[in-house]
């Protein structure tokens, strides 16, 4: 893949990678190295200057973009929490929420102890914008959304960059533990530092 901005600045130059189901891949590099650009291309927000993306040997083009978007989960640096209960925040728009599955996922992302402390469990209403939640709790809810959606690929966009070291380590451990429950889940994560990608099977460095 190659990509250049309208001013002609080449950000990605013949980038090539093969990522397999169940693989955790980190993408590391300094600001301006092309991490976010690569993510935006993979998410379908940008068209590459040259090259193509193959998903199970099918070219990702406009015709297949809708089905691709349905199969992925995206966790940004700041996860938005709306003024609904915990189950609604995780199921995110689903009409008939599988409450047992929500509870199972909450434990899988390491929020089980917190859930048990909530007065109404998964029916506890979240404060506006998650004002009473820690950064780590918000990130875990973001991951839980992708798991509930049954995403095949999870994109983590600097997901732990705003967290303290301990919270980042806790999230990394949580992601490592997901392998046994979701052996085919693929995770693509971008970060500035290798240490933020300790759970990854391999790290691709962009210069």
pLDDT at residue 30 is higher than 90: no
The answer to whether 152 and 184 have CB atoms below 8 angstroms apart is yes
pLDDT at residue 2 is higher than 90: yes
pLDDT at residue 93 is higher than 90: no
Q: In the chain, where does DSSP find H-type helix?
A: 35-42, 62-70, 86-91, 99-108, 112-117, 135-148, 165-181
d(CA 168, CA 52): 33
What residue ranges do the domains of the chain occupy?
20-33+66-205
Rounded to two decimals, the pTM is 0.92
Mean pLDDT value across residues 146-172: 93
Residue 107: HSE in the Cβ half-sphere, 13 Å Cα cutoff: 8
How far from 68 is each of 24, 36, 110, 152, 202, CA to CA, in Å? 19, 18, 28, 9, 24
Mean pLDDT value across residues 108-116: 95
Residue 8 pLDDT level (bands cut at 50, 70, 90): confident
Mean pLDDT value across residues 82-105: 94
Residue 162 pLDDT level (bands cut at 50, 70, 90): confident
Residues 6+ apart with CB under 8 A from 140: 109, 110, 111, 171, 174
CA 20, 140, 129, 94 torsion-angle sign: positive
pLDDT at residue 123 is higher than 90: yes
pLDDT at residue 6 is higher than 90: no
Mean pLDDT value across residues 66-85: 93
Closest CA to 48 of 58, 29, 30, 61: 61
Beta-bridged to residue 93, according to DSSP, are: none
- In the three-class reduction of DSSP (H, G, I as helix; E, B as strand; rest coil), residue 201 is classed as coil
Closest CA to 136 of 170, 106, 105, 92: 170
pLDDT at residue 129 is higher than 80: no
Out of 3.30.2320.50, 3.10.129.10, 3.40.50.2300, 3.40.50.300, select the CATH number for domain 20-33+66-205: 3.40.50.300
Residue 127 pLDDT level (bands cut at 50, 70, 90): confident
């Amino acid at each position: 893949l190659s990509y250049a901005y309208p001013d002609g600045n080449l950000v990605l130059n013949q980038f090539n990678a093969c990522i397999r189901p169940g693989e955790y891949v980190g993408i590391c590099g300094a600001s301006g190295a092309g991490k976010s650009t690569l993510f935006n291309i993979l998410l379908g927000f940008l068209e590459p200057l040259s090259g193509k993306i193959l998903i199970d040997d099918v070219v990702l083009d406009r015709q297949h973009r809708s089905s691709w978007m349905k199969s992925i989960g995206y966790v940004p640096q700041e996860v938005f929490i709306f003024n609904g209960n915990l189950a609604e925040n995780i199921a995110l728009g689903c009409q008939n929420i599988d409450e047992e599955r929500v509870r199972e996922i909450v434990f899988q992302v390491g929020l089980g102890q917190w859930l048990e402390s909530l007065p109404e469990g998964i029916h506890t209403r979240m404060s506006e914008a998650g004002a009473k939640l820690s950064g780590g709790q918000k990130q875990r809810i973001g991951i839980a959304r992708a798991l509930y959606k049954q995403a095949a690929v999870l994109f983590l966009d600097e997901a732990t960059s705003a967290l303290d070291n301990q919270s980042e380590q806790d999230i990394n451990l949580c992601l490592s533990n997901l392998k046994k429950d979701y052996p085919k889940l693929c995770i693509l994560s971008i970060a500035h530092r290798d240490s933020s990608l300790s759970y990854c099977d391999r790290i691709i460095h962009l210069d």
